Amino acid sequence: MTTLNKVVLAYSGGLDTSAIVPWLKEHYGGCEVVCFAGDVGQGADELEGIEEKAVASGASSCHVVDLNDEFVRDYVWPTLKSGAVYEGRYLLGTSMARPVIAKAMVELAVSVGADGICHGCTGKGNDQVRFEHAVYALAPELKIIAPWRTWGFKGRTDLIRYCEAKGVPVRSTAEKIWSRDRNLWHISHEGGALEDPWNAPPDDVWMLTRHVRDTPDEPASVLIEFESGVPVKVDGAALGPAGMVERLNDIAGQHGVGRIDIVENRMVGMKSRGCYETPGGTVLMEALRALEELVLDREARRLRDDLALQFSHVVYEGRWYGNAAREAIQAAIDSLMEPVSGEVVVELFKGHATAVQRRSPNSVHDEDFASFEADEVYNQGDAEGFIRLVSLPQAIRARKQRETAQGVS
């Protein structure tokens, strides 16, 4: 048996992590357990009374740290700027939250002199990778404990029985139907009937967004202001990073915006089906993409698209710290987005978020150039030479083939 002195535990107040508290003490030589909860917008219901629950489960203390603005500013904004969307659909809500939580938790572990760190992630998912990767990069000397890969408990019944035996108060006993993860940016739903992709997502799975049939019959509009690819105001109000996302979640959710249904490839080599809701994030993605269209030239845009694909994998895998590739991609994106400032009006209606108006002081769209009438700057005759040179390889090839064919006959 490994003996540890003090273990910091990622604690949610739910059944799993409540059971982990006594289990750690039992299996690591009576170690002290310090609970940690990073507030990334999972909701008051989850955080309320969490300190008391932790102590009642046997923890020595519970630290709740507000990470909302840091989460949005340092993880969400860079990802938004890059345009990263995992496998064409997933806006990376859970992926971005894990590193900020793990970092704060490692900092706590170091400050309280812990020698172990523990999480309640399953052994089949991505979160264990994201979490532990951060620990290896930031404090590799910490012993990582992942009970779900180790213990013999098979499901909730086992856990409830163990909690009762250890005197840990357990509130809910009902089986959970969906596996959920919520933060400011999104909520994910997995498991249960969703696992068969021939099943349409049932209505009761969704939480943040109304069904389209239940949305208002009048559209709403929201004006978003960006500076260098970063949202700075919503309808004229500088609400701060977290505040803007909250505001947009609220209004976009009412209009049914932001539902995603995907069968994705996990890092660990298997597929899983997820239903995600990202109301405010969907609005921001639409707005920023519409704005950059005014500013980025063809090559800059193509590079942005290419980097977005690469960054989507980096972010999905949660490889944030000590990762030179991540830093380099962000440096390139920051450079590209530097002039992407301006205003976008997004219309919300029946599940759609549509950028309907956009302008930028750095727009290189010019009505005078683009219109089909004659002008003085662009000489239409230029196109002839352009096309001829662009087509020269094909023209040479065609001529060569003809010569060869004639030579043969």
Judged by CB under 8 A, does residue 261 bind a copy of itself?
Answer: yes
Residues 351-370 that bind a copy of itself (CB under 8 A): 351-352, 354-359, 361-367, 369-370
- 297 included as an active-site residue: no
Cα dihedral: 269, 184, 143, 160 (round 10): -90
User: What is the rounded distance in angstroms from the CA atom of residue 237 to the CA atom of residue 222?
Assistant: 11
Contacting residue, 21, 67, 117, 129, with a copy of itself by CB under 8 A: 129
Rounded to a whole number of angstroms, the distance between the first and last alpha carbons of the chain is 86
Interface residue with a copy of itself, options 55, 112, 239, 303 (CB under 8 A): 303
Catalytic residue, candidates 127, 182, 341, 358: 127
Catalytic residue among 57, 98, 188, 341: 98
Residue 390 within binding range of a copy of itself, rule CB under 8 A: yes
Q: Is 268 in the site for a copy of itself (CB under 8 A)?
A: yes
Rounded to whole angstroms, how far apart are CA atoms 139 and 117? 10
Residue 157 binding a copy of itself, by CB under 8 A: no
Q: Candidates 204, 374, 406, 409: give the one binding a copy of itself (CB under 8 A).
A: 374
User: Interaction with a copy of itself in 180-239: which residues (CB under 8 A)?
Assistant: 191, 195-201, 212-213, 217
Total number of residues that touch a copy of itself (CB under 8 A): 132
Binding residues for a copy of itself restricted to 321-340, rule: CB under 8 A: 321-325, 327-336, 339
Q: Check if 179 is active-site.
A: yes
- The yes or no reply on residue 289 touching a copy of itself (CB under 8 A) is yes
Mark whether 98 is an active-site residue.
yes
d(CA 213, CA 191): 25
Range in contact with a copy of itself (rule: CB under 8 A) among 27-35, 68-76, 222-230, 381-389? 381-389
69 is catalytic: no
- Choose among 144, 394, 90: nearest CA to 264: 90
For 242-385, where are the E strands, in sequence order? 259-265, 271-277, 342-349, 352-359
Say which of 16, 235, 261, 334 is annotated catalytic: 16
- Token digits of residue 101: 């939580």
Phi-psi region of 173 (alpha: psi -120 to 50; beta: other; left: phi over 0): alpha
Residue 351 CA, chain-centre distance (Å), reads: 20
Q: For residues 186 and 65, give the distance between their C-alpha atoms in angstroms, rounded to a whole number.
A: 19
State the catalytic residues: 16, 98, 127, 179
